[in-house]
């Protein structure tokens, strides 16, 4: 019996430009290429991919048409700044300016950062560990110098590095999309509770515990450390609010 090969679909060789495009898309998705990052010059990219420059240029044009990269005349190609920033809109400004929403964000961080810490402990590579240590060192330096603004930025960077180490594209881009809001939340939280004695040192120690659990590859300990850290921050904020209320009442009584 003869096989009717015509019944099968013809196998098409993919275009070189499509293969390049898919590889660059994968690098953007996994976070190897970050929003706003400049790509290598065309000549170097073509050498790395071992393709012709016309094929590379066609791939870049397709990515540009999809809004993933921007090409600047004489200035090269960049990953689009707004990749992963779908959370940046007026609603986010409301979140950052309304006190009640700060508690909602802390609850969301409990869910999100617990799971990112868990997977980071399971999946982090040597390169991830090096980056986590570097982020923690920057946090340590700002902490020791008592540079509050730098410390809150380093704090947010540290949590973002944990998301990168989770090797989950959805978790990473959710954290990146919320990064500005996350940084504002950290700033607001720490500004409120740092004046309280020992709070600053305790929070810094919690970061160290979280880092060590991830470096040790202990997923459950990492998740618990993330939850303990955020629960402490939440409790401190609530207590600070009560203390502020008590102080206001005392001031009102003294003025009567």
What pLDDT score was predicted for residue 123?
Answer: 96
Output the tens digit of pLDDT for each of the chain's 256 residues: 555 545 555 657 778 888 888 888 888 777 778 888 889 988 898 898 889 989 888 988 888 888 888 877 777 888 887 665 555 555 555 565 566 666 777 788 888 999 999 999 999 999 999 999 999 999 999 988 888 889 888 998 999 999 999 999 888 888 887 777 777 777 776 776 666 667 888 888 999 999 999 999 999 999 999 999 988 888 877 775 555 444 454 554 455 4
Query: Which residues, 6 or more positions from 61, have their beta carbon under 8 angstroms from its beta carbon?
Result: none
Q: How many residues does the chain have?
A: 256
CB 207 within 8 A of CB 158: yes
pLDDT in tens, 167-211: 998 888 888 877 777 777 777 767 766 666 678 888 889 999 999
pLDDT in tens, 238-247: 775 555 444 4
- Could you identify the residue written with the tokens 């920057």? 138
How far, in Å, CA of 79 to CA of 72, rounded? 11
CA neighbor of 199 nearest in space, from 139, 240, 153 = 240
């Amino acid at each position: 019996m003869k096989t009717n090969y015509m019944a099968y679909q013809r196998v098409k060789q993919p275009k070189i430009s499509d293969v390049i495009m898919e590889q660059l898309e994968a690098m953007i998705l996994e976070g190897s290429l970050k929003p706003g990052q400049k790509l290598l010059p065309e000549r170097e990219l073509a050498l790395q991919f071992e393709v012709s420059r016309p094929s590379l240029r066609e791939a870049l044009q397709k990515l540009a048409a999809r809004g993933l990269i921007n090409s600047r005349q004489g200035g090269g190609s960049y990953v689009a700044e707004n990749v992963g920033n779908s959370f940046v809109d007026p609603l986010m400004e409301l979140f950052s300016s309304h006190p009640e929403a700060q508690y909602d964000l802390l609850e969301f961080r409990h869910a999100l950062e617990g799971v990112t810490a868990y997977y980071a402990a399971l999946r982090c590579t040597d390169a991830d560990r090096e980056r986590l240590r570097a982020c923690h060192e920057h946090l340590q330096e700002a902490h020791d110098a008592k540079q509050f603004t730098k410390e809150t930025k380093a704090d947010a960077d540290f949590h973002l590095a944990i998301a990168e180490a989770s090797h989950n594209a959805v978790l990473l881009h959710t954290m990146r999309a919320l990064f500005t809001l996350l940084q504002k939340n950290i700033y607001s939280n720490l500004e409120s509770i740092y004046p309280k004695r020992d709070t600053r040192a305790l929070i810094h120690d919690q970061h160290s515990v979280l880092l060590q659990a991830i470096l040790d590859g202990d997923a459950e300990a990492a998740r618990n450390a993330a939850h303990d850290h955020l629960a402490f921050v939440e409790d401190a904020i609530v207590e600070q609010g009560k203390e502020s209320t008590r102080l206001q009442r005392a001031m009102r009584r003294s003025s009567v």
